Each structure stands twice: as structure tokens, then as C-alpha cells.
Amino acid sequence: MPNTHLLISWYRRSYRPLPWRQTTDPYLIWISEIILQQTRVNQGNPYYHRFIERFPTVIALASASEADVMMQWQGLGYYSRARNLHKAAQTIVAKYNGQIPETSAELITLSGIGPYTANAVASIAFKEPSPAIDGNVMRVIARYFSADDVINSRGLKKLCDNTVRAMMKDHHPGDVNQALMELGAMICRPTTPLCNECPIQPGCSSFRTGSQAVYPVPAKRAKPKNRYFVYLVLTSNNLSSQDIILKKRTKGDIWQGLYDFPLIETTNVPTDSDVYKSSLWTSLLPDFQPALSHATYLKHQLTHQTLHCWFIRQTADLIPDGIDNAEYLKIPIDLLHHYPFPRLIQRYFDQKQIKSHADN
């Protein structure tokens, strides 16, 4: 069993003074945990400050519009996190009178809160002895015991749960969880771990055998799926007040609730003929010939998908016949900063020097 006294002593001397570690406010801890789920600390820190400045309380978050929440989240990716935060805040206000539930059993019933987040908030804010098992903790425990179970497997999670619960018996549960997470992030790193600085190194099995690189045993990763997007960037002829067509993405695919452009998706690398024969091109631009060789190409990597994207910019009379006004939106280009966009679309705007965000 790892020496908990040495671990906690190390943590209190060495932990990074991140803003969410200076509080026991469950709302602030919850927001930080959601932001950091799939985001590095250095990247997430400014988003955390911006988010809580705009929504300082759960009531403020619940009262906001979804578009406002998505705007504050823009650039962080995994946008379902923001939608779930918003929905959970509304549930907390409606069901719990604006008070964050104090137990992991209640927290886990809220949208977007899984076992890790529920246990992290309950242990740090309310001292509930619930292990918060993330990738950092699994790496520490797998190396300490030279565990042969694959990362994220039921067997490794059970080993971690039992170990961390035992470590919590005589210590603040939140300190134990945070110390293990910090150890994994700063010392027991995925590569080149700093074993000589590790407070629990004397009992570590993989250190004794020099097998740190073996653990945790990696899971097999599925090859990302290739997708092929042809975006139609349609702008008006009126140069004094130029308009552009946007499309709001709906349920059932990536980027729900964000905006992009009218889209033609093909099963393989698109050709001009594929684009020309599509119903969308026929309805929007029947008098034009597509030319993918002149389009702007961007490749965009998501966790499980590789997006190959061509942007065809065309000036036309808006809104063309055949377009569904409920599905597409015509707005002045100088109002783009009022709409949330996925990172891919923001990259296109940046490349074309189209202003799509408000001045700070």
C-alpha cells in the first residue's frame, strides 16, 4: 500500500496553486473538474477564469441561454460538456434550490457527471470518502503494483478503488484524491517519470524492476474514422453590409448546438462531380460550377474522427431559392462574434482573416 503520510506531505509542499484548489466551493470545483476532463491544465485555466467570471454561481449558469454558455466554452471542444453543465445547473436550481448536492450518489444523477466527477466534488467539497479515479491515478496505481490489467479496465479500476479507499481511512478524502492526481500529473508522468522525486517510490514495484514504461498496460485504440466535408461559404453581393449563411448543428453528430456552413458530406474524397450532383449544390448554386482545386482545405483531428474539409466560398444572392429558412440562417458578417463555432470553423475564419469573435 502506498505510504499515504508521505504522499500527503509531498502534496502539501509541492502542489500547483491552481485557483480551484484555493476553495471548497462545490460549484467552482465542479466547473474545474468538467473543464479539465479532456483539457490540459494550462489550456483550461484561462477558460475556467472566464467561465466563472461570466457565471459566478450555479444560479447564474442556470439562468443563461445555451448560446451564451456555448460562447464561453468556444475553443475547449467536447461541447457536450457545456450543454450538460447548463442542464445540470438548471436541475440543481429546480430540484435542490440552487444548492449543489453533497453526496456522490446525488451528484451522479446530474447531466454530464460521471463517477469520477461525482467522487471528486463530494470528496473535496464534502469530505466523502469516494475515490476519484482518472488516468493519472490509474497510472500511479498500475505502476505501484505492476498491475497487468489494461488501462480503464474493470480490474484496474477495482484495484484503484480499493487502494484509494484504504488510503482515505485516516486522511482527508479530498487530499488523497488530489495528491494522487497531482502525483500522476507532475511526477508519475506517462513518459520519463521523475521517480527520484516520488514520495511513494520506496514501495513501487515497477520502480524496483525498472518496468515503469510497461505500465499501465495500454488498451488497443481504434483507428480514427475519416470523414469528408465540403462546406459552402455563401456570402452576399452587397459589399456595404455583407451577409453570410450559417447552419446550426443539431443532435446526433459532432458539435451539437454550434454553427458551421451548409455542408455536403461524401463517403470518399470528393470530386467536383460529387459536389455538383448533390441536392444541396443544386438547390443553392445551380448556376455555378464547383472547383475543389481552388477550395480552402483544412484537416481537423478529433478523438475518433479525422475530418478532411474543403471550403468553397461563393458570392451569391441570399437566400437562394430552395433553402429552408428554418435550417439556415442569414446574418451580417460583422455579427459573427455573436455565434459559437467549433474550432475547425474558427480556424477557417482566422485563415481568411474574418473576424468572428468580440474584442476583449
The string of pLDDT tens digits covering residues 146-172 is 999 999 899 999 999 999 999 999 999
For CA atoms 86, 88, 90, 92, give the dihedral sign: negative
**pLDDT over 50 at 360, yes or no:** no
Cβ atoms within 10 Å, residue 317: 10
The string of pLDDT tens digits covering residues 248-279 is 998 889 998 899 999 999 999 999 999 999 99
pLDDT for residue 89? 97
Coil, strand, or helix at residue 328? strand
CATH homologous superfamily of domain 4-214? Hypothetical protein; domain 2 (1.10.340.30)
% residues pLDDT > 70 (the chain): 94
Can you name the CATH fold of 225-351?
Answer: Nucleoside Triphosphate Pyrophosphohydrolase (3.90.79)
Q: What are phi and psi of 24, to 5 degrees?
A: -115, 15
Q: How confident is the model at residue 324 (pLDDT cuts 50, 70, 90)?
A: low
- 182 carries an active-site annotation: no
Cell of 357: 469573435
In sequence order, the 6+-apart residues with CB closer than 8 A to the CB of 94 are none
**pLDDT over 60 at 336, yes or no:** yes
Q: For residue 24, which of 170, 164, 178, 171 has the smallest C-alpha distance?
A: 178
> What average pLDDT does range 323-340 have in this prediction?
81
Q: What are phi and psi of 292, to 5 degrees?
A: -65, -25
Q: How confident is the model at residue 19 (pLDDT cuts 50, 70, 90)?
A: confident
Cα–Cα distances (Å) from 151 to 76, 194, 213, in that order, read: 25, 21, 13
Q: For residue 121, which of 144, 111, 131 has the smallest C-alpha distance?
A: 131
Q: For residue 141, which of 177, 192, 108 has the smallest C-alpha distance?
A: 177
Please determine whether the domains at 4-214 and 225-351 fall in the same fold group of CATH. no
> Residues for the chain: how many in total?
360
pLDDT for residue 354? 82
DSSP, residue by residue, 3-16: -HHHHHHHHHHH--
Helix (H) or strand (E) segment spanning residue 318: none
pLDDT for residue 326? 65
How do beta strands 328-332 and 259-260 pair?
A: unpaired
Q: Per the residue annotation, which of 33, 102, 106, 327 is the catalytic one?
A: 33
Cβ atoms within 10 Å, residue 2: 25
Of 98-112, 115-129, 156-170, 346-360, give the lowest mean pLDDT range.
346-360
Q: What is the mean pLDDT of the chain?
A: 91
Q: Where are the alpha helices (DSSP H) in the chain?
A: 4-14, 26-35, 41-54, 58-63, 66-73, 80-96, 104-107, 115-126, 135-145, 154-167, 173-186, 205-209, 272-277, 279-284, 343-351
Domain limits, the chain: 4-214, 225-351
**pLDDT over 90 at 177, yes or no:** yes
**pLDDT over 80 at 356, yes or no:** no
Q: How does DSSP classify residue 218?
A: P
The string of pLDDT tens digits covering residues 131-143 is 999 999 999 999 9
Of the two residues 222 and 71, the one the predictor is more confident about is 71
Cell of 219: 488498451
**Cβ-based burial of 312 (10 A; exposed 0-12, middle 13-18, buried ≥19):** buried
> What average pLDDT does range 107-116 have in this prediction?
96
% residues pLDDT > 90 (the chain): 72
